[in-house]
Amino acid sequence: MKTVLAIVDGLGGRPTDYNGKTCLEAAKTPNIDELAKRGSTGLLDPIKPGVKPESDTAHLSIFGYDLDKWYTGRGVFEALGIGMKVKRGDVCFRTNFATVDENLNVQDRRAGRIQEGQKGLEGALQDLKSSQPDVKVIFKASVEHRGALILRGPGLSGQITDIDPHETGVKVGKAEPLADEESAKETAKIVNEIVQQSHEILSGLSLNIDRRKEGKLPANILLFRGASEKIGIPSVRERYGVNGVVIAAGALYIGVGRALGLEFKQAEGVTGRADSPIIDKAKLAVKELRDDDTGFAFIHMKGADSCGHDQDAEAKIAYIEKADEVVGYLLDNLDWNQTRIAFTGDHTTPIAVGDHTSDPVPIVFAGQDITPDEVGEFNEKTVRKGSVGRISGQVVPILLGCSDKI
Amino acid sequence: MKTVLAIVDGLGGRPTDYNGKTCLEAAKTPNIDELAKRGSTGLLDPIKPGVKPESDTAHLSIFGYDLDKWYTGRGVFEALGIGMKVKRGDVCFRTNFATVDENLNVQDRRAGRIQEGQKGLEGALQDLKSSQPDVKVIFKASVEHRGALILRGPGLSGQITDIDPHETGVKVGKAEPLADEESAKETAKIVNEIVQQSHEILSGLSLNIDRRKEGKLPANILLFRGASEKIGIPSVRERYGVNGVVIAAGALYIGVGRALGLEFKQAEGVTGRADSPIIDKAKLAVKELRDDDTGFAFIHMKGADSCGHDQDAEAKIAYIEKADEVVGYLLDNLDWNQTRIAFTGDHTTPIAVGDHTSDPVPIVFAGQDITPDEVGEFNEKTVRKGSVGRISGQVVPILLGCSDKI
């Protein structure tokens, strides 16, 4: 059996989205509705009812991993997602290039969404050093202001607070230990030193002096958040007995996939933005599944969430219609007598809120061995009458339920 | 109030079972349908969605016991099920008489499903001894190849691997500690010694020499699996305030019942096989409940699961029709103004799979204080419109929900 997990990030909405309809209701989605006709539908609480999911926690839970046991923070996924090698015991952070004034007050958390020069900044930051000689500092820049940093060495802990204050106009924070342990205290101390060093190194760079001259915000500090330790999460292969690929554009989703042992496959030209040619993800998934009898493909489509954050209903509707084409391509090009799919979102991002909420999202399971219910249209309202009922996470285990591995 | 929990092991199926129908759909079940008419129906994930239950974990979860907290492995239930006295701290194992060659390669995990001589083998194995003088070894044979073994003494742990390799043609394994603790290492060492001793003792027995002469496979080693520690599981009485009996034939189910403080009651002539006269379980349950105002009866019917494992749809249908007679007897002979019943399965065993799967199973609650829904037929499809919705475990607490004990 072959399986597909297709996630539209932030798929869910509310009736206030667009003229009394959710974006999903307003969008024309003949292919997703066809899935609903063939399949079994319901509501998914990505984590559990009343819990607002972040993208990483939502995905882990959808994959059937207990968050209390396996979630240590966002940093590991970010580092894996941008292609860093992460070892057991490493403490990883998501970083931002940011702009601070002379008093270390944050002027911009994204250094004016810096578009170029990341390699130069990365090169300069290779001089970052821990005062603790056993601890190595490894930094990699990604796109725009984004990057990840790894501390590698003995006696480290992910149990520390963010130094990123998550707002502007306030001073850069100090990392504080979250546990009364030497390792957490030591790690917080190292992080505070490195942040200070990053400011000293970056402030003097000619790139930043030039940016100031051009009226741009300098990238003169590195903000840290999402400290997390690499622990031994069992892979999808170990848990469920299938080989899998992750087809995504956002680093976080690629990282979650890699953390679970999925192989990242790059669809040509995709960007992770609303204008991404996501149909190419469907084509790549079909290609990857063609030659593997037990293949599993995780397709992640980011744009709907971004449109939700931007509170742009029309853009979100248009993106959902593109996701419908992805489903159409899968319907046309996979053998549904030996394929199963789950199509859903990782959370709701209502237009009026512009952020994630804890509302459940519609879900459909279709394909081999799945008995259709009477729901023939796919949206937040119709699936409430579906036969899946209301489930919490566990989408991948349910999808793979006929394998003898789980 | 009196309560009945009636479980048909492996009740659930898939539309591929029999001419486009599940075995439950194909079976004629006027009495179970009558329960559905009178009751409230839905789908049960015995543990949670996407988790494939084993019989012991499914039952614990159905009884409302958190597996992370209360499940330590299968061995305790096996030992209790065959009537051994188990004390707190004991480490218990399910054992098989098996056949190995001179290199300890497993030829048959069940010693040709040995039919006689178990008492002689058990007698010889009273000589089993631990090199650790504080640790007592207690062995009891059951029917055919089955048995249980208890290690009793200080400093033991159930955190060790099976030595039973679960397949033939490979060498008997070594027990390995699953935790970095002295107790687990010590227990693994003792088990490895005892397995070796069992081979030495059994190989020389005249019974086995005779079996070889008769062309039968000798029972020349004891294989161990399901190591588990006896912990202090609270009883059904302590948790829910009712006196209960378990009416079952399989040792594992009797053992689960006993572990939860239920008293085992032997129905005459029942065998645990598909041909068992299970109507006698209904008669016994009615008798047991007659004189007890707060009585609770757990009736376990094994055969449907065995037919599923054998991939024999017609046999499974016939067994479900026998279970329907059990329900009919209960309907006719209990006072439903002061009785509640939950009727369900402990998991799905589809004919095409021949093993447990994670599909939810239909469930009905009926009797005193239970409001009927509009479902009047009981199967995997119809109950999806029932008023119970989709629940995870917790059947006994729901059934007993009107007591003030929970």
Q: Over the range B130-142, which residues count as b (16 or more CB within 10 Å of their CB) and which as e? A: bebeebebbbbbb
Domain match, A297 and A263 both: yes
- Across the A/B interface, how many CB contacts are shorter than 8 Å? 53
Strand A221-229 relative to strand A295-301, pairing: unpaired
The radius of gyration computed from the CA coordinates of chain B, to the nearest angstrom, equals 22
Among A402, A404, A405, A406, most B C-beta atoms within 10 A, so best to mutate, is A402
In a domain, B255, yes or no: yes
CA distance A242 to chain B (A): 15
Domain match, A151 and A200 both: yes
The radius of gyration computed from the CA coordinates of chain A, to the nearest angstrom, equals 22
Domain match, B260 and B392 both: yes
In a domain, B95, yes or no: yes
Strand partners, A12: A348
Residues of B in contact with A392 (CB under 8 A): 48-49
A368 close contact with B: CB closer than 8 A: no
Residues ≥6 apart with Cβ < 8 Å to A13: A22, A23, A24, A25, A308, A316, A348, A349, A350, A351, A380
Among A47, A242, A387, A388, most B C-beta atoms within 10 A, so best to mutate, is A387
Would you state the pLDDT for residue A326? 98
Alpha carbon distance A222, A141 (integer Å): 11
| Residue segments in chain A with a per-residue pLDDT below the cut of 50 | 403-406
Give the ipTM of the model, two decimals please.
0.77
Domain match, B216 and B263 both: no
Residues of B in contact with A404 (CB under 8 A): 353, 355
Per the CB < 8 Å rule, is A369 touching B43? no
| Element spanning A315, H or E | helix A313-333
A64 close contact with B: CB closer than 8 A: yes
Structural domain ending residue among the three candidates A211, A229, A247: A229
In a domain, B190, yes or no: yes
Would you state the pLDDT for residue B67? 93
CA distance B349 to chain A (A): 10
Q: Which amino acid would we find at residue A342?
A: A
**Across the interface, which of B48, B358, B384 has its CB nearest the CB of A387?**
B384
Domain match, B287 and B367 both: yes
B357 close contact with A: CB closer than 8 A: yes
Would you state the pLDDT for residue A402? 53
CA distance B26 to chain A (A): 16
Structural domain ending residue among the three candidates A202, A229, A256: A229
In a domain, A405, yes or no: no
In a domain, B253, yes or no: yes
> What burial class does residue B30 get, using C-beta atoms within 10 Å of its C-beta: 0-12 exposed, 13-18 middle, 19+ buried?
exposed
In a domain, A193, yes or no: yes
For the CA atoms of B273, B277, B282, B283, the dihedral, rounded to the nearest 10 degrees, stands at: -140
Per the CB < 8 Å rule, is B50 touching A371? no
Domain match, A267 and A352 both: yes
Residues of B in contact with A387 (CB under 8 A): 43, 381, 384
CATH number at residue B263: 3.40.720.10
In a domain, A404, yes or no: no
Per the CB < 8 Å rule, is A401 touching B355? no
| Element spanning A185, H or E | helix A182-203
Give the nearest chain A residue to B390 (CA atoms). A389
CA-closest candidate to residue B390, choices A315, A379, A373, A322: A373
B189 close contact with A: CB closer than 8 A: no
Domain match, A37 and A60 both: yes
A395 close contact with B: CB closer than 8 A: yes
Give the nearest chain B residue to A397 (CA atoms). B50
Count of domains in chain B? 2
Domain match, A59 and A37 both: yes
Do residues B121 and B219 lie in contact, with contact meaning Cβ atoms separated by under 8 Å? yes
In a domain, B404, yes or no: no
Name the maximum alpha-carbon separation found in chain B: 66
* Domain ranges, residue A256: 2-71+233-399
Structural domain ending residue among the three candidates B229, B261, B295: B229
Domain match, A159 and A283 both: no
Alpha carbon distance B219, B285 (integer Å): 38
Residue with tokens 């995504």: A248
Give the nearest chain A residue to B387 (CA atoms). A389
| CA neighbours closer than 13 Å in the CB half-sphere of residue A166 | 5
Q: Helical H runs in B30-87?
A: 30-38, 55-62, 67-70, 75-81
Residues of B in contact with A371 (CB under 8 A): 14-15, 380-381
Domain match, B249 and B394 both: yes
3-state secondary structure of B139: strand
Average pLDDT, chain A: 94
Would you state the pLDDT for residue B29? 98
Distances (CA, A) of B350 to B8, B311, B347, B381: 14, 8, 10, 15
B17 close contact with A: CB closer than 8 A: no
Domain match, A209 and A64 both: no
Alpha carbon distance B75, A96 (integer Å): 53
- Splitting chain B (406 residues) into consecutive groups of 10 residues, what average pLDDT does each group show? 96 95 98 97 95 94 94 95 95 97 95 92 95 95 94 95 93 94 96 97 94 94 95 92 93 96 93 89 95 88 95 97 98 94 97 94 95 96 94 94 53
Q: Which amino acid would we find at residue A18?
A: Y
Domain match, A265 and A395 both: yes
